[in-house]
Chain A
Amino acid sequence: PTSPCQPWSHHWGSGGGSQSPASDPLPWGARTQPLTRFPAWAPELSCSLSQCAGGGDSPAPAEPAGGRSPGSGSSPAAGGGSGGLWTGRGRVQVWAKLLRHDRGRVHWVHLHRLRAGAGPVRRRIAAEPLRLLFLIAGGFFWLVSLLLSSLVWFIAVQIGGSNNASVKKNLLIFGVVLSVLLQEVFRFAYYKLLKKANKGLMTISQEETMPISVRQLSYVSGLGFGIMSGVFSLVNILTDSLGPGTVGIYGDSPQYFLSSAFMTLAIVLLHIFWGIVFFDACEKKKWWALALVILSHLLVSGLTFLNPQYEGNLVPSYVIMMLMGTWAFFTAGGSLRNLKLCLMCRDKDFLLANQRPR
């Protein structure tokens, strides 16, 4: 069934097409950092290193904290263990943990390629797959919300009869509103799921910090939602753009592709910002912020009803996007000072966490 407005939209062209959002794991050794000494907060590691039962190579560039008695190595190692693999400090925690596992023996972890700095690689690689997984799961949740809303809309259309144009338009408005609401519901459901998963991981690991912070989760989930939403909105249009040049042949605007692209960009970024603000509001029980997010989503979707009057649609949408962006920035812990430091490459925390290999 082709809609009368755009017959060309159903001429799904052959060839080309976008790629599915594939995810690539971090290439091995892509980001290695030099690890010249164990930081003070990993005493157990250096302690155990000093207990190495000889053999093999020297304990790499790690300088064992001298003066520690070679005991079983387990008790000093059993303690501590703060942070984890996931946090920025957990660069060597994994080794500390591995050392803790063996209670009665002296172990010595030989850190290969320490000169190249494998620590942060391990941390990053441990963090990245989980983030990637949550990204794809976020996309899946958006998809399910779309499915449900399409189901309800479909049933409503079947029931409501399909002759009257105004009835169809009303049903469409109803469908859009329902879809937006369901998306937010599923965002909340995803938040709950992520909290549960994080709590599970935390209890398993008996650590205080979560393997992945809520902020990262909010960003990742917003990105997942945004990617799926954007892809579903844009991919068919992109395919059509490879087809015959019949855009506007029935009176459509010649800026159809451009405006679609800009709108999709706005939607993707907005989903990210909404995700950040949403999760933060759920964490701190700021229900007004939640309501504001939902309202802004409804507003942006409602503005698209003004198409093809693109000025009425795109400009306010971008304004809302900027506002949401700044709100999300401040929610995520940014500040003007941080921004200045970051822009001038003087942010020490950031630099420390992202050292380049020498």
Chain B
Amino acid sequence: MITFMNSSDSEEEACNERTSLISAESPPAASYQDGLQAPEAAETQTYRKRRSDGSCSPSDADGGNSDSGLPVRDIAVDNKEEEELTLKYGAKHVIMLFVPVTLCMIVVIATIKSVRFYTEKNGQLIYTPFSEDTPSVGQRLLNSVLNTIIMISVIVVMTVFLVVLYKYRCYKFIHGWLILSSLMLLFLFTYIYLGEVLKTYNVAMDYPTLFFVIWNFGAVGMICIHWKGPLHLQQAYLIMISALMALVFIKYLPEWSAWVILGAISIYDLIAVLCPRGPLRMLVETAQERNEPIFPALIYSSAMVWTVGMAKQDTASRDLTQQTWDSAEDVREIHENPAYVESEIFEARSPAPTHPTTSLLEELEEEERGVKLGLGDFIFYSVLVGKAAATASGDWNTTLACFVAILIGLCLTLLLLAVFKKALPALPISITFGLVFYFSTDNLVRPFMDTLASHQLYI
């Protein structure tokens, strides 16, 4: 689900949402929402995001948000134009999501292709206890299905636990959990990854240098992700931890289980986000009621800096739009030994008819908040493509086909988001396309292309 979150002051004063990097106010105009919002609203929201996102730009000319009266816009005539403009924004937002997803996949594919460690079988996670080394196909299938059931139930339990914690306002627990998991990812997994890469390229590194590098990498990462930091640096760190998590999955999930888990997680995603009693939907609605963003460290936000400032801003209208927001967020957390968190992209519904038209900026810059995509989506996309790169005998053709399929699925998801204007899970369409293309390319296209290549034929 693509989300634009609305930020408010959380309980922690030291690092509240206003200063945290990701969570800024959710703009009322999501990129794909048509008919109900004005581009000015988009710019209003982006401006507000800009304002509250102090980390993004040092030159915060935040000063003059004067409160002027809220103009009640006449949106009837302007809907079409707004729709065109939001669609235009939409294409940009799609590309803004394509880039990080592509980068994450490239990192995973490059690692899989070069570092042997991540394709070697070295045991399994405790969440997939059944081994797949059985001679019969039926037994193997059964084992993978059982593994999937266990994994999905762990995910469900974790999500429900998270929702319960959130409902009872145990923010400190949640934040501690998140900090612990990102500590694990940034230090332990990076250490292992770096070690394997150095081994692969036969580069010697002494411990002091290693400690220095890992310490700096991890410390800056923690600061960027949980506190403030330049936007691109934070995006880079989020991509890297998603890639690391995906590599762990690729390594430790047995083959058939991985595919079945991918399929099952898409279905679970669909259920959890769209069903009225789904845990993720409840989580998002709770967050919406409280006007808080959820777990800013788990969402990748792609912000753009626009160069148009609107003339007037209405803070009163901002409050109005906040009430009408309806953002849904899908966050799942799996607490393995390395705790990892995944979340879905989520989207805030555009505000109702009355929304501000313009925002006054005294500074000359306005930032349009792009879409937000949950890290879990990154992770599972990369798992799919990485598995395709690791195990497909059709090799690069299969990998590329899966890559294109996932991108197109993401594009379709964003399009659906524009149509339905509610929280949508990001996994199902992309994973379905990816799975279909993986199996069909590996089994159908590969022999065809091989035969063609052996005779040097071109089609």
Contact = CB atoms under 8 A, between A and B. Distances in A.
Interface of A: 1, 3, 5-6, 9-10, 12, 14-20, 22-25, 28-29, 52-53, 55-57, 78, 81, 84-85, 94-95, 97-98, 100-105, 107-113, 118, 121-122, 125-126, 128-130, 132-133, 136-137, 139-140, 143, 146-147, 149-151, 153-154, 157, 172, 175-176, 179-180, 183, 201, 203-207, 211, 228-229, 231-233, 235-237, 239, 256, 259-260, 263-264, 267, 300-301, 304-305, 307-308
B415 to A, nearest CB: 10
B458 A204 contact: no
B63 to A, nearest CB: 11
Nearest to B42: A98
B397 A149 contact: no
Given A25-B96, A307-B457, A15 B113 contact: yes
A154 B404 contact: no
A101 B43 CA distance: 13
B453 A236 contact: yes
Contacts of A110: 308-311, 361, 364
A107 B358 CA distance: 8
Contacts of B307: 29, 111-113, 118, 121-122
B87 interface: yes
A232 B455 contact: no
Contacts of B451: 3, 172
A153 B307 CA distance: 53
10 contacts: A1-B447, A12-B395, A17-B113, A20-B403, A22-B106, A56-B311, A81-B81, A140-B408, A146-B445, A206-B80
Given A17-B396, A85-B88, A206-B80, A104 B447 contact: no
A232 B455 CA distance: 15
B440 A101 contact: no
A133 B26 CA distance: 25
A9 B453 contact: yes
Nearest to A230: B458
Contacts of B71: 102, 104-105
Interface string B158-185: 0000000000000000000000000000
What 8 A-B pairs are tightest by C-beta distance, nearest first? A205-B84, A3-B454, A129-B91, A112-B364, A150-B448, A307-B456, A108-B311, A118-B307
A300 B459 CA distance: 8
A172 B449 CA distance: 11
Interface in B220-250: none
A106 to B, nearest CB: 8
Contacts of B38: 101
Contact of A95 (B80, B305, B308, B449): B308
A258 B98 CA distance: 33
Given A24-B99, A53-B311, A183 B397 contact: no
Given A111-B307, A206-B80, A232-B397, A304 B40 contact: no
A137 B411 CA distance: 9
A304 B407 contact: no
Give the contact-size bracket for chain B. 35 or more
A183 B94 CA distance: 26
Nearest to A53: B311
Contact of B308 (A78, A104, A122, A237): A122
Interface in B181-199: none
Given A133-B91, A235-B397, A235-B400, A5 B308 contact: no
A109 B396 contact: no
Nearest to A157: B447
B444 A150 contact: yes
Nearest to A95: B308
Contact of B84 (A25, A28, A84): A84
B81 A103 contact: no
B95 A9 contact: no
Given A133-B411, A201-B87, A263-B458, A28 B305 contact: yes
Contact of A137 (B96, B99, B397, B408): B408
A256 B459 contact: no
B404 A25 contact: no
A3 B450 contact: yes
A136 B74 contact: no
B88 A113 contact: no
A130 B109 CA distance: 27
Contacts of B277: none
A111 B364 CA distance: 8
A16 B405 CA distance: 22
Given A110-B361, A229-B459, A105 B87 contact: no
Given A137-B408, A143-B401, A235-B400, A112 B459 contact: no
A218 B411 CA distance: 20
Contacts of B34: 204
Contacts of B103: 22
B411 A14 contact: no
A124 to B, nearest CB: 11
B310 A107 contact: yes
Given A102-B71, A113-B364, A183-B459, A6 B454 contact: yes
Contact of B407 (A12, A29, A104, A136): A136
Contacts of A137: 408, 411
Given A136-B408, A204-B83, A56 B362 contact: yes
B40 to A, nearest CB: 6
A304 B304 CA distance: 47
Contact of A94 (B85, B444, B452): B85
Nearest to B402: A20
Interface string B417-459: 0000000000000000000010011011101111111111111
Interface string B51-75: 0000000000000000000011110
Contacts of B440: 147, 150-151
A228 B85 contact: no
Contacts of B453: 6, 9, 233, 236-237
B108 to A, nearest CB: 12
B95 A140 contact: no
Contacts of B140: none
Contacts of A55: 311, 360
Given A109-B309, A151-B440, 20 more contacts: A1-B447, A3-B454, A5-B455, A17-B113, A19-B106, A29-B307, A52-B311, A53-B311, A53-B312, A57-B364, A84-B84, A118-B308, A121-B307, A154-B443, A154-B447, A172-B457, A176-B452, A204-B80, A204-B83, A205-B83
